[in-house]
Amino acid sequence: MSEEKPSNINDASVPNKVAKAPADVPADTRVTSTNETTNLVTTEPETTPPSLHKADDAKLDTDNIDNNNIEDNPAADDTPMPPTEPIPGSAGWSPKKKSFFNLGLLIALIVIGVALILYAWKLPPFTPTVQQTNNAFIKGQTTIISPQVSGYVTEVAVQDFARVKAGDLLVKIDDRTFQQQLEQAQANIEVAVTNRSSNAQDTGSNQAQFEAREADLNSAKVSVYSAREDVSRYQGLVAIGAVSRAEVAHAEAQLAKAQAGVQQAEANLQVAREAREKTSGSRSSLDANIKNAEAGAKQAQINLDNAIIKAPESGQLSQLSVKTGQYVTAGTQLMYIVPKGIWIIANFKEAQVANMTIGESATIRVDALGGAKFKGRVSNISPATGSELSAGAANPATGNYIKIAQRIPVRIDLDQGQPEFAQLRPGMSVSVDVDTKAK
């Protein structure tokens, strides 16, 4: 280390010369002189301990410097002088200018801070193109198997979790009651058909009676006409004495009799008409009875068929909740059947769906399979939020309102033929990433 000790030397006494060190100044100390200031420069030998160069030991009394000694020291003239720098506080000293560097550093820090805020809030230009959610589940067309009739179970033909094909026998219910109902309905059909046939015969007979009574009425009317002509002729003959009054009275009696016959014929015709109309009306009722009996037979046949429960489609059964000998009612849940067709319902926040379109690719990670990945595509987006479609949707117009991001269900169809696809089950929770740039 080297220490510089300024020394104020009169420029007039030592003009433009190198001052010689006084006798009491160590040999390793050199004095330099300039037009304004004379400095004593002390050079430490490498072997000299630092303790010998303390500030107090290096202090020089410049008032006692002998100018002659300085001039007579040839070593001072030959020793190269190190460059001198202005002393802080003197007229030639000024601080270094770093204002532009500091300003640039401040601007850089501001830009970095703004960028970090935009990135933290996912604002442009850091808006993510991949939308993520873990509010997603595997869905399937799960079908509840329930009987349509009530009765005792006589046979359970499957076991828990069995795989079945469409039409396979699942459960049998005692069908003796339904068989008897079918036979009764068929008997009712036969009775209704017999009554309809009898009615047809009665209708024919009554029609014949009506026609006969109508003929009788016409005959009675002819008799009245003939009797009236006889009375008129006899009345003309009695005036000239060709016939007696008794014959005229007899003719008038025949006319009255004929007129009574017309009245009787009209009454008989009315009876025949009513009988015919009655049988005609009964025919319509009997036709309805036949249809009713046939409908009863069809319903009995349906009940008989429903006593045998078959798989409506191919798939895998759930755990069974029915046993042989158990009494079940219509609608009782016996088991579930899960077909192979499955899909994903992912509930994204409303802001995430803003740029989402049908056909975009999706990556699905299944928790139950150790995060195994599956590929799929967006097939449909719900027309409303999940809360809007729920049965107990809240009314925001009442009470205090807190804005909460709503979620919109999105359906994602899985690509077929992927590894471990057969291990997917409806109800599993998954995580979904949708790339809004990929179409």
Please spell the DSSP secondary structure of 300-327, one letter per residue: HHHHHHHTEEE-SSSEEE------TT-E
- What per-residue confidence (pLDDT) applies to 213? 82
With contact defined as beta carbons under 8 Å apart, do 25 and 75 qualify? no
Instruction: Please tell me the distance from the alpha carbon of residue 22 to that of residue 63, in angstroms, as a whole number.
Output: 11
* Residue 13 clears pLDDT 60, i.e. is over it: no
Determine, yes or no, domain membership for 99: no
Residue type (1 letter), 141: Q
- What per-residue confidence (pLDDT) applies to 376? 96
With contact defined as beta carbons under 8 Å apart, do 352 and 133 qualify? yes
Higher pLDDT residue, 189 or 39? 189
CATH number at residue 197: 1.10.287.620
Domain span at residue 39 reads: 3-78
With contact defined as beta carbons under 8 Å apart, do 169 and 145 qualify? no
Together in a domain, 355 and 290: no
Residue type (1 letter), 226: S
Determine, yes or no, domain membership for 127: no
Instruction: Please tell me the distance from the alpha carbon of residue 30 to that of residue 2, in angstroms, as a whole number.
Output: 11
Domain boundary among 78, 106, 126: 78
Together in a domain, 234 and 285: yes
3-state secondary structure of 204: helix
Higher pLDDT residue, 108 or 211? 108
Determine, yes or no, domain membership for 120: no
Our separate counts of H helices and E strands in the chain read 7, 17
* Residue 334 clears pLDDT 80, i.e. is over it: yes
Determine, yes or no, domain membership for 9: yes
With contact defined as beta carbons under 8 Å apart, do 364 and 378 qualify? no
Instruction: Please tell me the distance from the alpha carbon of residue 152 to that of residue 194, in angstroms, as a whole number.
Output: 37
Together in a domain, 243 and 295: yes
* Residue 204 clears pLDDT 80, i.e. is over it: no
* pLDDT range class, residue 147, cuts 50, 70, 90: very high
Together in a domain, 198 and 261: yes
Together in a domain, 235 and 276: yes
- What per-residue confidence (pLDDT) applies to 197? 82
Instruction: Please tell me the distance from the alpha carbon of residue 98 to that of residue 106, in angstroms, as a whole number.
Output: 12
CATH number at residue 365: 2.40.30.170
DSSP letter (8 states) at residue 397: T
230 CB-near residues (< 8 Å, 6+ apart): 251, 254, 255
What are the tens digits of pLDDT across the range 384-437? 988 888 776 666 666 677 888 899 999 999 998 898 888 999 999 999 999 987
* Residue 358 clears pLDDT 70, i.e. is over it: yes
Instruction: Please tell me the distance from the alpha carbon of residue 290 to that of residue 112, in angstroms, as a whole number.
Output: 91
Instruction: Please tell me the distance from the alpha carbon of residue 251 to that of residue 241, in angstroms, as a whole number.
Output: 16
Instruction: Please tell me the distance from the alpha carbon of residue 180 to that of residue 182, in angstroms, as a whole number.
Output: 5
Together in a domain, 163 and 239: no
Together in a domain, 256 and 288: yes
Together in a domain, 185 and 256: yes
Determine, yes or no, domain membership for 93: no
Read off the tokens for 356.
Answer: 């989402």
Q: What is the DSSP string of 105-116?
A: HHHHHHHHHHHH
* Residue 370 clears pLDDT 80, i.e. is over it: yes
* Residue 438 clears pLDDT 80, i.e. is over it: no
Instruction: Please tell me the distance from the alpha carbon of residue 27 to that of residue 45, in angstroms, as a whole number.
Output: 10
Element containing residue 431 per DSSP (H, E): strand 429-435
Together in a domain, 315 and 166: yes
Higher pLDDT residue, 37 or 159? 159
Number of domains in the chain: 4
- What per-residue confidence (pLDDT) applies to 162? 94
- What per-residue confidence (pLDDT) applies to 18? 41
Determine, yes or no, domain membership for 98: no
- What per-residue confidence (pLDDT) applies to 122? 66
Mean pLDDT of 298-319: 94
* Residue 5 clears pLDDT 70, i.e. is over it: no
Cβ neighbour number for residue 290 with a 10 Å cutoff? 19
Residue type (1 letter), 392: G
Determine, yes or no, domain membership for 104: no
Determine, yes or no, domain membership for 402: yes
Nearest to 297 by CA among 152, 195, 178, 194: 178
Instruction: Please tell me the distance from the alpha carbon of residue 368 to that of residue 425, in angstroms, as a whole number.
Output: 10
Bridge-based pairing of strands 335-338 and 143-145 is: antiparallel
Handedness of CA 403, 409, 410, 414 (dihedral sign): positive
Provide the mean pLDDT of the chain: 78
Mean pLDDT of 331-356: 92
Instruction: Please tell me the distance from the alpha carbon of residue 109 to that of residue 126, in angstroms, as a whole number.
Output: 19
Together in a domain, 188 and 289: yes
Together in a domain, 283 and 318: no
- What per-residue confidence (pLDDT) applies to 306? 95
Together in a domain, 209 and 293: yes
56-60, 314-318, 330-334, 347-351: range with lowest mean pLDDT:
56-60
Higher pLDDT residue, 53 or 357? 357
Give the up-direction half-sphere exposure of residue 242: CA atoms within 13 A in the CB hemisphere: 7
